[in-house]
Amino acid sequence: MAKLSALFFDLDGVIIDTERDGHRIAFNEAFREFGIDAAWDVDYYHDLLQIGGGKERLRHFFDATRFERADYAADPEGFIKTLHRRKTEILIELIEGRKLPLRPGVERLMKECNAKGVFLGICTTSDEKAARSVVKNMLSTVEIDLLLAGDVVKRKKPDPEIYLLALERSKADPAAAFVVEDSSIGVRAAAAAGLRVVATVNGYTKDEDLGAADMVVDCLGDAPGSACLLRGKEGRAFSGLVGIATLEDYLNG
């Protein structure tokens, strides 16, 4: 019987539901501070989430709106990096203020990995400073073995590069590893790396195409019966709680 050797978590929307009330709010506040006449609403930001990476979203937005300003025209990449840096600072303030709680079951499942010796990693396109702030402020009771964030890879999700790097660093067998993702681009990235995937949907991703996931739930659950199985392999028992035993059942199916 195969044992789970590694579990890799995405961050935004998986560990913390940061997208709508975290990143989006921080982007809009950064726009205000920089004197940019823009405000991303909930629906438009969901469209932008189909692009992996915050700086990449800014670049797309400025290209699509034909943004014109002297300091941007003089150094587009420098302007985007400066704006994104300020946005990250605002996001970190939200995280440190505990205004963005952990999603159900995240801390429980991570602690179970620690207790059973399962390699635990976080793989995100979120800025590294923001990711480290989440680990420091929200996951202080958990031992994280690997954190891959920001520009650690050249190609963002849905490209599998970040998960291939995680496999290389962890030396984990992809046949005995799982990823926790929430979005179509994340699920596709993990599947392309040869990994099994459990998708935990949120308000932004519940209607996305998650067909490449092995299992789709509304959350990981903090007690039996608290997680709803939306899609999974037929014939598999589900207690309403995603744990190591649940994932190993899928590995051995």
Residue 1 covered by a domain = no
Residue 181 covered by a domain = yes
Q: What is the pLDDT of residue 149?
A: 96
Residue 134 covered by a domain = yes
Q: How many CA atoms lie within 13 A of 26 on its CB side?
A: 24
Residue 201 covered by a domain = yes
Q: What is the pLDDT of residue 1?
A: 76
CATH number, domain with residue 143: 3.40.50.1000
Residue 67 covered by a domain = yes
Beta strands 215-217 and 229-231, pairing class: antiparallel
Tell me the per-residue pLDDT of 173-217, one tens digit each, with 9 for 90 and over. Answer: 999 999 999 999 999 999 999 999 999 999 889 999 999 999 999
Q: What is the pLDDT of residue 236?
A: 81
- The count of structural domains within the chain is 2
CATH number, domain with residue 62: 1.10.150.240
Tell me the per-residue pLDDT of 97-127, one tens digit each, with 9 for 90 and over. Answer: 877 889 999 999 999 999 999 999 999 988 8
Containing 147, the helix (H) or strand (E) segment is strand 146-148
Q: Mind telling me the catalytic residues?
A: 10, 12
**Residue 25 clears pLDDT 90, i.e. is over it:** yes
Q: What is the pLDDT of residue 237?
A: 84
Mean pLDDT of 115-140: 94
Residue 71 covered by a domain = yes
Mean pLDDT of 72-97: 95
Same domain, 56 and 110: no
Other beta carbons less than 10 A from residue 216's beta carbon: 21
Task: Tell me how far apart the 2 most distant CA atoms of the chain are, in Å.
Answer: 62
Same domain, 230 and 106: yes
Residue 74 covered by a domain = yes
Confidence of residue 18 (pLDDT cuts 50, 70, 90): confident
In this structure, which long-range contacts are made by residues 70-76, counting pairs with CB atoms below 8 Å and at least 24 apart in sequence?
A: none
Same domain, 13 and 44: no
Q: What is the pLDDT of residue 98?
A: 79
The model carries a pTM of: 0.87
Same domain, 11 and 53: no
The parent domain of residue 153 ranges over 6-17+101-251
Containing 186, the helix (H) or strand (E) segment is helix 184-192
Same domain, 152 and 116: yes
Same domain, 125 and 223: yes
Same domain, 106 and 203: yes
Confidence of residue 19 (pLDDT cuts 50, 70, 90): confident
Instruction: Give residues with Cβ within 8 angstroms of 75, minimum separation 6.
Output: none
